[in-house]
Amino acid sequence: MAEQQKQPKQIGRFPIIGTLGVGGMGVVYLGQDPDIGRKVAIKVLHATGDKEALERFKNEARTMGEISHPNIVILLEYGIDDNKPFLVMEYLDGLSLEKWINQTHTLEEHKKILLNLCSAISFAHRKEILHRDLKPGNVQVLPSGDAKLLDFGIATGEDTGLTATGFFIGTPKYLAPEILQDTTHTKTSDCYSLGLLAYTMLSGNNPFATDTFEATMTRLLTKIPVSLHKINPNIPIELSNVVDKYLDKNPEHRPDSPKDLQMALELITKPAQLKKTIVPNADSKDVRSQEKTILIGQKPKSKMKWFTIASFVVAIGVSGFVYKNYLEKQKEQEIARIELANQQRIEQERKEQERIKQELAKKEQAIKEAAENAKRKEAQRIAAQKEQERLEAEKIAKKEPKPKPIRNKPKKKPVKKPVVEDEYKPPVIVYQKPKKKVNTKPAFQLPQLTPKTKKVELKTRSDTQISRGTTKSITVELPNGVTIENFKIMRGISEFNQVEIRKIKDLQDSSVELTLYAQSNASMGDFSLVGFYQNKKTKPLLMEVTL
């Protein structure tokens, strides 16, 4: 069993009450301000040795320190405790928008939350700050019905900022299509995520979410979702058309601010419209069959076969996934190299301290010996002086004339030789050729198509998201007469050991109950559950590790 995060008794001056959650960068504790007694949320960075994570953590503190808005979480304090930096933020009661979407609400409640988000993003854009990770999990719905925007860990100024280890930065299912083409994140990219967030709220699901990572990327790049008004007539057609503009694949045709969405929402004022309920949609096949297919940068071609487009995009997704795994391995190697360098540095410092101690001991011994020599010479001088006085006394007693003093000749002063300075030697400048930039982008190749084999399909009646450091039970439905011989957790083409299958229980209704556990340091994102039937893999069931 994975080692649980040990809860400290106090961080800085704040006593710790409990743990709110564990994320990729750190853990969030529930604390209390000892001066005024209010509850606070304290975010502590996991590993201070990761320079990139530390820089993002500081970037979040700097960004939140520049923003003060009623719909953005407030930063109260930044500090360091036991060499670990921490952020103290206001504690927000309520429910995450990710869970709020799965419930039935009125159009008026949706309008209030979306207007709050439009106001928060407009304010951040005026400050030249991009959020870059807009998703339901980063929005908190308060008991009053208002919403607040969270998590500015990867926020940055337009056309500048940090990069992430991997193929892209942010949550894949809410990224703008141009980000997957290695394009710089802009305000229009934030607006795309805002439009997709609005679509997900008003329809009850993400139109691009599928069972596999590759299929999700394919839909994100090629599918145009069905308009909200066609899915649910209770949604005004004017609002539906504006959301469609925000989901345009071409960033040049997309609004670059939340103003259009805000105006469309403010025009909904009739009580009869506002009181209509929005029920989460099951996203049936009939709805998806009405979608349009398009390749980014081109108009739809009626003669172009879908499987050619899909194969091309899947190749991009698979290559990106492989490249991401490669960069993750590079990151692990870099962390190991840094740890080794730190150990060598500590060993060198220890040796340097030992050398300094030895030199100090030698200097003390030399000072002690010099003092003893001076003391011995002084005793010899005193003894010689006494002997001289005794001899002079004996001469006086014998009345012997004192010898004439012998005048010593003055010593010649040494002639100082003139100091000849070294001739000036100009520095030698060695020309170095500039290093050639090596293109590290992977080469994308179109794989050959092979006929698809029929596979057993796994279905689930449970939520497929699991939080880090938690255990979750899911029910998997199986076709009649099918017995799964074994289950595996996969990410891409390799096993994903950060999520464990703790227990498998056969149920009476041709289904299986699996008990899964996600380690507290598991990488966030999608993974697949795969079964084996007659030595063949079933279709993968897409799941997700969240904060």
Architecture of domain 95-304: Orthogonal Bundle (1.10)
Series of mean pLDDT values for 10-residue runs along the chain (547 residues): 67 92 80 92 77 75 81 88 87 92 93 96 89 88 93 52 40 78 83 94 86 78 88 92 93 93 94 89 56 53 45 58 68 81 86 91 92 92 91 79 60 61 54 54 37 73 88 88 86 90 86 91 90 87 90
Q: Which two tokens stand for residue 368?
A: 């002690």
Predicted pLDDT of residue 304: 41
Write out the two tokens for 396.
Answer: 């006086």
CA dist., res. 506 & res. 486, Å (int): 12
Return contacts of 232-237, CB within 8 angstroms, 24+ apart. 232/202, 232/203, 232/278, 232/279, 232/281, 234/107, 234/273, 234/276, 234/277, 234/278, 235/107, 235/202, 235/278, 236/268, 236/273
User: Residue 266 to residues 11, 60, 112, 242, 499: CA-CA distances in angstroms?
Assistant: 44, 32, 10, 13, 45
Amino acid 171: pLDDT: 61
Alpha-carbon distance of 100 to 97, in angstroms, equals 5
CB neighbours (10 Å) of residue 483? 11
Is the fold of 95-304 the same as that of 459-546?
Answer: no
pLDDT at 206: 86
User: Is the CATH number 3.40.1160.10 carried by domain 459-546?
Assistant: no
Instruction: Give the residue among 237, 243, 275 at the shortest CA–CA distance from 261.
Output: 243
User: Which residues are CB-neighbours of 53 under 8 A, at least 6 positions away?
Assistant: 25, 45, 46, 47
Q: Residue type for 32, please? A: Q
Element holding 359 (H helix, E strand)? helix 306-397
pLDDT at 306: 47
Amino acid of residue 352:
E
Q: What is the largest CA-CA distance in the chain?
A: 142
Q: Helix H segments across 171-305?
A: 187-203, 213-222, 228-231, 237-246, 259-266, 271-274, 285-288
Q: State the fold for domain 10-90.
A: Phosphorylase Kinase; domain 1 (3.30.200)
* Listed residue (155, 234, 146, 239) closest to 198, CA to CA: 239
Terminal CA-CA length for the chain: 19
DSSP state of 94: S
**Could you tell me if 88 and 79 are in contact, meaning their C-beta atoms sit under 8 angstroms apart?**
yes
Percentages helix, strand, coil for the chain, rounded to the nearest 5?
35, 20, 45
The secondary element (H helix, E strand) that includes residue 337 is helix 306-397
Per-domain boundaries in the chain = 10-90, 95-304, 311-378, 459-546
Q: Give the position of tokens 């994975």.
A: 2
Q: Which amino acid is it at 404?
A: K
Tokens of 176: 């703008």
Q: How many residues does the chain have?
A: 547
pTM to 2 decimal places? 0.53
Nearby residues of 153 by Cβ (< 8 Å), 6 or more positions away: 25, 56, 57, 59, 60, 133
| Contact predicate 234/276, CB 8 Å | yes
DSSP string, 218-231: HHHHHEEPPPHHHH
d(CA 351, CA 521): 35
